[in-house]
Amino acid sequence: MATISTAPATTRSQAAWRPRRLLVTRSGFDFAHGRGIVARAEAQGVEVVALAGDRLALGLPDDPRRAYAEAKSTLAVVVAPPSKRRLQPIAPSADWRVDLAEGCPAHCSYCYLAGSLKGPPITRVYANLDEILDGLPAYLGQGSITSRSEARAHEGTTFEASCYTDPLGLEAITGSLSAAIAWFGRWEAAAQLRFTTKFADVGPLLGLDHQKRTRMRASINPTMFARFEGGTAQVAERLAALRAMALAGYPIGLTIAPIIAAQGWKEAYGRLLVDAAAALADVPDLDCTVELITHRFTAGSKAVLDSWYPGSALDMGPANRVIKRTKFGTEKQVYDAPTMRSLRDFFEAGIAAAIPSARILY
């Protein structure tokens, strides 16, 4: 049985991410949150570049490898326009998607952002966080995803903050996630903020007055796949962080994703469930959900990922795969029915045995 420290606080071995440079659009300075990010960056010794206007002039090198590296180490402070502040439903996770930022500094060979964000992979954080949050009450009670689900309606109107970014990965430099959690804590309504993360530095979140209106999920995979998750925290650190959040009274969850049916998967995921159960042992009033997301990709995301991570050992071949048409008319490669069934049976039984009180959402 794996052992995990029962100490309530968590630390991480890897230093929090710091961009190589911070680009700030002219309008980014108009907002207190934008100016706060600049102050944090300066205090951390990050080069701050004030742009003359609101267009992001990146000046990336022609060489694709260097352009990728430079983009990934750049953070831009921009203003979310009204069109980006109009929320979209985000099935099956939440009623609404709320973006605090777009992009992520980590280097996962299967990153789902490759299929959803266009252009160079720089991270943009929104300076007008207050405007974004102040727009949320208009959506209260309007949800059609979790609010309409008999099993999940008790969560209230749900807002997912990890669709286009990993908000915890940016927290040390932006403070956006802490601000959003505190805002939901003050919002006396049947509503919940949700985020999932492959990072672990939850120290700034532990003392916030969250009022249980934020659910953190740790996105985890067996250590045999750690080589596909460059720049993230180790899985043991993510689980220790999740334990610390649960002890601080937050509802929590496991996002097991992306589930990869490679040789030895049963043993590897079996060990992962044992580790997760050990991390959550003896947490009083544990409120834990589980999301199971199998590995999938589109032709477009595969092309982007092949260019970002040439030579990656991640299997994106045709074996055990079928094409599934999405409701948006696009096609994605998913595991075939026998593989999906065997994964489902394994996880349902494994989670019931390891963490009996956990609820599988999907």
Neighbours of 313 (CB within 10 A): 10
Task: Give one word for 153, left, alpha or beta, with left for phi > 0 and alpha for psi -120 to 50.
Answer: alpha
> What is the CA angle 194-124-69, rounded to 5?
115
- Find the Cα–Cα–Cα–Cα dihedral 93, 97, 98, 101, rounded to 10°: 90
Structure tokens at 273: 């469930």
Work out whether 176 is an interface residue with ligand SF4 (CB under 6 A). Answer: no
Residue 157 or 162 with smaller CB distance to ligand SF4: 162
By CB under 6 A, residue 106 contacts ligand SF4: yes
* Host H or E run for residue 258: strand 252-259
Taking the CB of residue 308, how many other CB atoms lie within 10 A of it?
19
C-alpha 293/C-alpha 65 separation (Å) is: 30
147 or 219, CB closer to ligand SF4? 219
- Residue 288, token pair as written in the block: 């834990």
Site for ligand SF4 in 192-221 (CB under 6 A): 198
Q: Which is nearer to ligand SF4, 116 or 144 (CB)?
A: 116
Angle at 92 between CA 89 and CA 98, to 5 degrees: 40
Nearer to ligand SF4, 8 or 92 (CB): 92
Q: What is the CA radius of gyration of the chain?
A: 20
Q: Rounded CA gap, 101 and 311, in Å?
A: 29
CB of 340 to ligand SF4, least distance (A): 21
Q: Is 232 in the site for ligand SF4 (CB under 6 A)?
A: yes
Stretch that binds ligand SF4, among 108-116, 143-151, 183-191, 294-302 (CB under 6 A): 108-116
108 contacts ligand SF4 (rule: CB under 6 A): yes
Binding of ligand SF4 at residue 104 (CB under 6 A)?
A: yes
Interface stretch with ligand SF4, choices 103-111, 183-191, 289-297, 342-350 (CB under 6 A): 103-111
**Residue from 166, 171, 201, 237 binding ligand SF4 (CB under 6 A):** 166
Residues contacting ligand SF4: total by CB under 6 A:
8
Q: Tokens for 215, please give them.
A: 């659910």
Among 113, 261, 288, 304, binds ligand SF4 (CB under 6 A): 113
Q: Please tell me whether residue 290 binds ligand SF4 under the rule CB under 6 A.
A: no
Q: Please tell me whether residue 170 binds ligand SF4 under the rule CB under 6 A.
A: no
Interface residues with ligand SF4 (CB under 6 A) are 104, 106, 108, 111, 113, 166, 198, 232
